[in-house]
Amino acid sequence: MKEESCSTCPTKSSCAGGCQRSEAELAEMYDLDADTTEGHMVWVELDYSTGMPELKEASKELIAKARSFDDQRVIGILFGPESARNAAREAFSYGADTIYHVRHPSFTDFNLESFTAGLTAVAERVKPNTLILAASDEGMELGPRTAARMGVGITADCTDLEMDKGVLRMTRPTFGGKLMATIISNTRPQMATVRPGAFPVPEAEEDRQGTVINWPMNPKPHIEPVESIASEEGACLTDAELIISVGGGIGNLRNLELAKEIADRLGAEMACSRNVVEKGWMDQDRQVGQTGNVVKPKVYLALGISGAIQHQTGMSGSQNIIAVNNDPGAAIHQIANVSIIGDVGEFLQRLLKRLDEEEAADI
């Protein structure tokens, strides 16, 4: 029989089927209580859609990436029932040395409270140098919560990671995707969520072995909201079909009132650029853009808005953009379906007059 060796276990015996040692033995064996930051921990996300637990592609990517950092241990943590043990073998084949299997029959389903508690407990025990998760819907919830519990920073939605002598350099887009920022953390573990597809998935090394450490855990009770109170205004904005949005070019409060009156009469929602929020003329929950709402109405009427990239981030998905701006070179005209080069005040007066005329004709 071929001699199989375990890359983390001092006995060098194969225990991929599940380490039978007690938690206390393991703590001593691996010096788990030592105050060190060593090893790279990856949250291993499982897919149960075929009935058998399988690693999601994003997890394979992250395990392989962590393996490429340096020669430190790669520690995976997965949640699942007894049967999830099979997934540990798959994780070894992509580069994991140790898998913490947080076990409970109900963990086939994502459970934010339990996974946060489990991930925090294991990370606090292992004290890894890095802790990375896929920026999947679940990872984007689990990562920041775990970071908050541990009191450490997290860089979200990274597109690249590099390890430089133990320091994780985390790269992600910023300023609406115009720039890439490389961030380093001064807390440990260095935490990141990583966009799925950022790294290639290598060939699996079927013979690679590792250690499984079982971590039984009772699920935490789900937090059920007692009552959901939607922000009346913001919620309408994201669903609105017709939006009248004002920018710095609206010029004065009188013009703003005219715009609101027209919105009322047309059944449109009012929105604005950050400039208008900064002036204190409209509330922040009406702001559209990178740091505001993302809207996709049928018609977005932009009044005196320059079309800065941070604003476009929130409205470029609109079906029709009508821009009123007196500067023909304004960026908003580049993305508008209809461009009106002229004065906002004058446009509003004429539109109101037209509405009055139409109403009078209907009587």
**Residue numbers at the binding site for ligand FAD (CB under 6 A):** 247-249, 251, 273-275, 287-292, 304-306, 308, 310-311, 314, 324-327, 330, 343-344
* Rounded distance between C-alpha atoms, residue 131 and residue 77, angstroms: 10
Q: Which residue lies nearer to ligand FAD by CB, 22 or 231?
A: 231
DSSP H helical segments within the chain, as ranges? 23-29, 57-69, 85-93, 112-126, 137-150, 232-239, 253-266, 274-278, 309-315, 332-335, 344-362
**Which distant-in-sequence residues (6+ apart) come within 8 Å of 151 by Cβ?**
187
Work out how close the CB of 144 gets to ligand FAD at its nearest, in angstroms, rounded to a whole number: 19
Q: Scanning the structure block, which residue is given the tokens 């960026």?
A: 331
* Rounded distance between C-alpha atoms, residue 106 and residue 119, angstroms: 16
* Rounded distance between C-alpha atoms, residue 234 and residue 237, angstroms: 5
Work out how close the CB of 184 gets to ligand FAD at its nearest, in angstroms, rounded to a whole number: 20
* Rounded distance between C-alpha atoms, residue 249 and residue 122, angstroms: 54
Work out how close the CB of 34 gets to ligand FAD at its nearest, in angstroms, rounded to a whole number: 41
* Rounded distance between C-alpha atoms, residue 74 and residue 44, angstroms: 11
Q: Quote the DSSP letter at residue 250.
A: G
Work out how close the CB of 260 gets to ligand FAD at its nearest, in angstroms, rounded to a whole number: 16
Work out how close the CB of 300 gets to ligand FAD at its nearest, in angstroms, rounded to a whole number: 12
Q: Which residue lies nearer to ligand FAD by CB, 285 or 343?
A: 343
Residue 133's φ and ψ, nearest 5 degrees, are -135, 155
Please give the C-alpha separations between residue 212 and each of 2, 43, 344, in angstroms, as whole numbers. Answer: 20, 14, 67
> 210 with 96: CB under 8 angstroms?
yes
- DSSP codes joined into one string, 119-146: HHHHHHHH--SEEEEE-SHHHHHHHHHH
* Rounded distance between C-alpha atoms, residue 171 and residue 159, angstroms: 6
Work out how close the CB of 191 gets to ligand FAD at its nearest, in angstroms, rounded to a whole number: 22
Q: Which residue lies nearer to ligand FAD by CB, 40 or 274?
A: 274
Work out how close the CB of 256 gets to ligand FAD at its nearest, in angstroms, rounded to a whole number: 12
Q: Quote the DSSP letter at residue 82.
A: G
Work out how close the CB of 308 gets to ligand FAD at its nearest, in angstroms, rounded to a whole number: 4
Q: Which residue lies nearer to ligand FAD by CB, 234 or 248?
A: 248
Q: Quote the DSSP letter at residue 230.
A: -
